[in-house]
Amino acid sequence: MMPTALDLDSPTPALTGRAWPPLTQDFATLGDAFSVPVAVSPLPDPVLVASSAPAAALVGLSPPRDAADEHDWALAFGGHVAAIRDGSRATVYAGHQFGNWAGQLGDGRALLLGDWPDAGGGRHGGSGAAWEVQFKGSGRTPFSRMGDGWAVLRSSIREFLCSEAMAALGIPTTRALCLVGSSRPVRRERIETAAMVTRLSPSFVRFGHFEHFSYTGQTEQLRQLCDWVIARHAPACADAPQPALALLQWVVDRTAQLIAQWQAVGFIHGVMNTDNMSILGWTLDYGPFAFLDAYDPLHTPNTTDRGGRYAYGRQPAIAHWNLLALGQALLPLIDVPESALDVVNTFRPTYVQAMQRQLAAKLGLTQLRPEDGDLFQALLDTLEANHSDWTLSFRHLAQLAADARAPIPPALAAQGQREPQRLADWVARYRERLRSEPRDDAERAAAMNAVNPLVVLRHHLAQAAIAQAEVGDFDEVRRLLRALERPFDAGAVPPHYTEPPPEHAPPACLSCSS
């Protein structure tokens, strides 16, 4: 259970000796039009729920080893250490939400603490520090609107676990250094307890940051932001005849690759508003997300999304729409408006090529052929007709022998129980395609198992961890994290994590406030 109440008016509880590295605050140099200073509201009774050793290594931190270390981490990342919290700022941005202009938004429950260099002092390009550090769930800001600025344990566990799960899958994402819980009550649909995630990213700049300055006529600030992003993250764009247009192309290319990676693992973001799109082409904000169980391209876990705008199968089109919004925002910096449209329209062919490469790798193919598109689409149609489990179907395909005389493995056949002949017909086509491949069965299986995970953060797995954490037991969060950090390794993933949800398990039905 949570510890006894901590008096926030008393001095900060003593640390056990850990020295935290100082943070710089480069984003603040842009000026007060871009962000405002906001004090962190420390969590009472901070307790470390979990931490990520891989994320800690990125910024040269040693993960907690014992109770004393966990005490220090809980205080530091619960907002009680001046070296980390002082200098925190909330940034302003705008955005389109569900296709409608929402006007000014901003960091309503997140604070940018500053920059940490990575473990070797390295950079992600340009002159910027490698990692920005952010608290999510640190109290009200001027941009909170009607919100309270807090995050609850339930949603914070989901964000923490999925950030690290996506990273382990090789998908660009903001990282989660740690998760701190608290006894502070927070009212949502019920009374819950507060929590705070410490996030890392080379940048938390969103499409919406550019929209804010463009649509309010602040062209000089728009140019300043564009130059700042280019200098830190895309320095080659500075030498282009039109740097803003070059930056747009850079974002289009990276976003196309990202969406292909999402689709390949069956990830549904759930709320692809422009204010939730990273200028880096990284996964940003984990709210009503889910991973596919039974393949359904029209599935969305977001209860707010009644029209299915952000359904799994519509994510590529929405990414293109959001890039059009970004291109529109950048027009004051681009000489020929039509050139921005031309750049954004490169998204579709770039995405299609990236998605075909993803599917080829998932099927163990060493090279793409013109006819492979039909093979891929036939597979998707077969999975949809059979309500096949997305993750398990690809994993079981690795067990299939290329020899047409060999039976279909039972685990794979089980994914085609609704229309077994349809699966059999597709397998025959696939085996015919494999005849022209240089790999033998063992080599192909190894390659497929290296890209098709055994475990993803299914809704029922997250819910089980949340249920235990809400009564003060964080062991399942930590066990699940260890499995998600090695998603392709059969020796590291307990068998029950690889199973589809039980029939009685409810599907993911989450709101944007999740």
Rounded to the nearest 10 degrees, the angle between the axes of helix 420-434 and helix 372-386 is 160
Please, which residues bridge with residue 135 across strands? Answer: 111, 198
Cα-based distances in Å from 210 to 36, 133, 497: 17, 21, 41
Q: Is 275 assigned a catalytic role?
A: yes
With beta carbons less than 8 A apart as the criterion, state whether 322 and 230 touch: no
Rounded Cα gap, residues 468 and 97, in angstroms: 34
Rounded to 5°, angle at Cα 228 from 223 and 234: 110
What share of residues in the chain are helix, strand, coil (percent, to 5)? 45, 15, 40
State how far Cα 122 lies from the chain centre. Answer: 23
With beta carbons less than 8 A apart as the criterion, state whether 396 and 364 touch: no
Active-site residue, from 72, 275, 293, 305? 275
> What's the half-sphere exposure (Cβ side, CA atoms, 13 Å) at 199?
29
What is the secondary structure of 45-85 as a DSSP string?
Answer: S-EEEEE-HHHHHHTTPPPP-SHHHHHHHHHIIIII-HHHH
Q: CB-based contacts of 381: which residues, under 8 Å, 6+ apart? A: none
Q: CB-based contacts of 446: which residues, under 8 Å, 6+ apart? A: none
- Residue identified by tokens 């819980």 is 181
With beta carbons less than 8 A apart as the criterion, state whether 68 and 163 touch: no
Q: Which amino acid is at 41?
A: S
CA dihedral in degrees (484, 487, 493, 499; nearest 10)? 90
With beta carbons less than 8 A apart as the criterion, state whether 509 and 301 touch: yes
State how far Cα 319 lies from the chain centre. Answer: 14
Token couple for 474: 């964080």
CA dihedral in degrees (273, 274, 278, 281; nearest 10)? 90
With beta carbons less than 8 A apart as the criterion, state whether 507 and 459 touch: yes
Q: Which residues are catalytic?
A: 275
